[in-house]
Amino acid sequence: MAISVGIVGASGATGASIVDGLLEDGDFTVVALTRPESVSKPANKALAERGVEIRAADLKVAASVLANSLRDLDVIVSAIGPTEQLEQINLATAAKAAGVKCFIPCGFITIIPVGGCHILRDDKEIVYNHIKRLHLPYTILDVGWWTQLALPHLPSGRLDPVRTKYRLPAGQDMPMVGDGNVPSALTDLRDIGRYTARILKDPRTLNKMVFVYNELFTRNQVRDELEKISSEKIPRNYVSYETLKTSLEEAEKNLKASGAVTGSSEHYQLSVPKMMAQYQISWGIEGHNTPEWAEYLGYINSKDLYPDFKYFTFEGLAKEALARH
């Protein structure tokens, strides 16, 4: 019998990958849980044409009311936006009332210790703790850094059409953190949904944290690899920990001075420089985003669970992108 999965954020980048992975697998009935006012949007119409049920679900109504939209679902996967993380508290309460068998909250980020290293990670922990207080079955899934976001700028600009799709700046490279020699786990966005499909059918992952990743690269290794593939020389610009620390302090000062309400769109926009500096310090200086750190923090490793998983490589992505342009 097919596993029924409700997805929050099905039209976003991570949510779309999850939809793709579940439909490709074939053992799932997929339901997109969307705001009532968004049911008729083109993105949802496109999902419906692929066989996804579009179901209105207002995450802000009382949990007892929201539960009525969830009662026939085996699993809920949340790929909710960064400004809406705490709305998952009500969603989890409703999932518990509805008898959902597994709740996958919106993890899907790099490995980061909780408690001051990253504001988004700390918001997620609030949700995770609420889930555990409810005694709601869960799986927490983190995925490292998207391979797509690791693509450097080439002097020819040949990769810019792909990079700008993922909001990387055209015409310029992102500076490398520290000396560029700290390894960091990468996962192709297209594989997130395929991993999710495997995990949802695997009882070993219930009530566990799972770290899925494809490859480990330092930022220097990424550029070495791309130089071989593209035959272009990539300039290497480095940013020090001290510079990042100054950027972080400045971002925190501006955020505090703004008076923006936590959870508002303005607060999120002002938080982006802080979040980016925290990400860069975490994976580029502290080296958190590795299997070793994940194991220390209590994650189980996708390499141990699924040694047969055929993933998209950095080399393959780069060659594919270059072939198009």
- What span, in angstroms and rounded, lies between the C-alpha atoms of 10 and 32? 6
Please give the sequence-ordered ranges of beta strands (E in DSSP) within 81-190, or none if there are none.
102-104, 139-142, 145-146, 176-177, 184-187
- Looking at residue 201, its amino acid is K
Burial of 247 (0-12, 13-18, 19+ CB in 10 A): middle
pLDDT at res. 83: 86
- What span, in angstroms and rounded, lies between the C-alpha atoms of 159 and 170? 9
- Looking at residue 84, its amino acid is E
Contact 76, 100 (CB under 8 A): yes
The closest alpha carbon to 234, from 310, 178, 288, 154, belongs to 154
Chain position carrying tokens 């936590």: 262
Predicted TM-score of the model (pTM):
0.96
Structure tokens at 185: 């786990």
Query: Cα dist. 264→33, 84, 101, 193 in Å?
Result: 22, 9, 32, 29
Which residues are marked as active site? 124
Domain boundary assignment for the chain? 3-144+187-213+299-306
Structure tokens at 91: 């969603």
For the beta carbon of residue 275, count every other beta carbon within 10 angstroms: 17
pLDDT at res. 250: 94
The closest alpha carbon to 313, from 129, 125, 150, belongs to 150
What is the domain class of 3-144+187-213+299-306 according to CATH? alpha beta
- Looking at residue 153, its amino acid is H
Contact 281, 182 (CB under 8 A): no
Chain position carrying tokens 């997130």: 192
- Residues of the chain with pLDDT below 50 are none
Structure tokens at 179: 């000396």
Burial of 313 (0-12, 13-18, 19+ CB in 10 A): middle
Q: Convert the pLDDT of each residue in 158-176 to its tens digit.
A: 999 999 999 888 888 888 9
The closest alpha carbon to 56, from 75, 35, 79, belongs to 35
pLDDT at res. 268: 83
Q: Convert the pLDDT of each residue in 187-210 to its tens digit.
A: 999 999 999 999 999 999 999 999
The closest alpha carbon to 187, from 90, 312, 99, belongs to 312
Query: Cα dist. 19→34, 50, 99 in Å?
Result: 14, 10, 22
- What span, in angstroms and rounded, lies between the C-alpha atoms of 300 and 163? 31
The closest alpha carbon to 189, from 219, 149, 225, 146, belongs to 146
The closest alpha carbon to 221, from 108, 118, 313, 109, belongs to 313
